[in-house]
Amino acid sequence: MIGYSLVGTNDIDRARAFYDALFGAIGVGKLWDSPRSVAWGMAFDKPAFGISVPHDEQPATVGNGSMLALAQPTRAQVDTLYTKAIELGGQDEGAAGLRGEEGDMAFYGAYVRDLDGNKLCFFRMGPADT
Amino acid sequence: MLIGYTLVGTNDMQRALAFYDALFSAVGIGRMIELPTLAGWGVSWEKPIFGIAIPADGQPASAGNGAMVALGQRTRDKVRLLHAKALEMGGTDHGPPGVRGQEGSNAFYAAYVRDLDGNKLCFYCVGPGDEDT
């Protein structure tokens, strides 16, 4: 049902470079790149994540309580994204690790904010990587 | 990598629950998670979940400018239904249902609203008009 989800940016070139490098680390490319909106994803029939310049021409702001959670196939990939986001200047909001109990439905997550302050979560639901 | 879930903030969990319960039940979608500070709706656990949350930092929730969650629908009829329902529930209109761009087999038919906390949503359907399918 979610087709795509956008966060705002005040510097689309800087944001594009950030997410190109971030998602490039796990082999995910751009799906579209227009002057006001850029998005990344696996395929057009899967939900895309994107950045946009606000439609109303006012400054982009961060919604408090808003968060985008990007599911990963392995815990290692959560670690990769978390490390890369911080290397690229993102802000740490919670190190990669288990939240709750270990097990088949364990939640392994990491939290960061991008260069515009938008909050992201990278997570893997399931047992430890084998 | 997929969107697992996306959350928007609320300052009134009960009001937001009532809004989204009514909105999504209009298209047959129910609640999947309900915690004291978070609730989510979706079609199954394998699909991305849309949810509302009370901010983790204890500060007031706010809507991000430039942020938008777009919910894909199978028909234009459902786009119209969701837009009408959102307004009926007190949401604000940010663009009535209609084709953005060219009509055709890949036409983008969309409607835009803000919820009771000001979070922007898009309901859309990509494809030809319903009468053509």
pLDDT tens digits along A50-64: 999 999 999 999 999
Q: What share of chain A is helix, strand, coil (3-state, %, to 5)?
A: 20, 35, 45
ipTM for the complex shown: 0.90
CA distance B24 to B19: 9
- CB-CB neighbors (< 8 A) of B4 in chain A: 69-71, 121, 123, 125
> Helices marked H in chain B — which ranges?
13-25, 76-88
Q: Do residue B2 and residue A61 have CB atoms under 8 angstroms apart?
A: no
Question: What domains can you pick out in chain A, each with its CATH number?
Answer: 4-54+66-125 (3.10.180.10)
CA distance A21 to A61: 22
Contact between A124 and B1 under an 8 Å Cβ cutoff? The reply is: no
- Residues A5-28 have a mean pLDDT of 96
CA distances from A103 to A107, A112, B72, B106 (A): 9, 24, 33, 43
pLDDT at B133: 46
pLDDT tens for the 133 residues of chain B, in order: 789 999 999 999 999 999 999 999 999 999 999 999 999 999 988 889 999 999 989 999 999 999 999 999 999 999 999 999 999 999 999 999 999 999 999 999 999 999 999 999 999 999 998 764 4
Indicate the burial class of B128 (C-beta count within 10 angstroms; 0-12, 13-18, 19 or more): middle
CATH of domain B5-55+64-132: 3.10.180.10
CA distance A47 to B36: 27
Closest partner residue to A63 (CB to CB) among B49, B50, B64 is: B64
Bridge partners of B68, per DSSP, are: A6
Closest partner residue to B50 (CB to CB) among A1, A46, A49 is: A1
Distance from CA of A10 to the nearest CA of B (A): 9
CA distance B76 to A61: 31
Q: Do residue B57 and residue A64 have CB atoms under 8 angstroms apart?
A: yes
pTM of the predicted model over 0.90: yes
- Residues A84-111 have a mean pLDDT of 96
- CB-CB neighbors (< 8 A) of A6 in chain B: 66-70
Distance from CA of B5 to the nearest CA of A (A): 5
**Within 10 Å of residue B104's Cβ, how many Cβ atoms?**
12
For B127, the token pair is 């494809």
Distance from CA of A45 to the nearest CA of B (A): 10
Report, in angstroms and rounded to the nearest whole number, the Rg of chain B calculated over CA atoms. 15
- Residues A86-92 have a mean pLDDT of 97
Q: Which long-range contacts (CB under 8 A, 24 or more apart) does A72-78 make?
A: A72/A26, A72/A122, A72/A123, A72/A124, A72/B1, A73/A124, A73/B1, A74/A124, A74/A129, A75/A108, A75/A124, A75/A128, A75/A129, A76/A129, A77/A26, A77/A122, A77/A124, A77/B1, A78/A108, A78/A109, A78/A110, A78/A122, A78/A123, A78/A124
Q: In chain B, where are the structural domains located?
A: 5-55+64-132
Q: Do residue B7 and residue A69 have CB atoms under 8 angstroms apart?
A: yes
CA distance A6 to B71: 12
Q: Do residue B64 and residue A61 have CB atoms under 8 angstroms apart?
A: yes
Asked whether residue A99 carries a pLDDT value surpassing 50, the answer given is yes
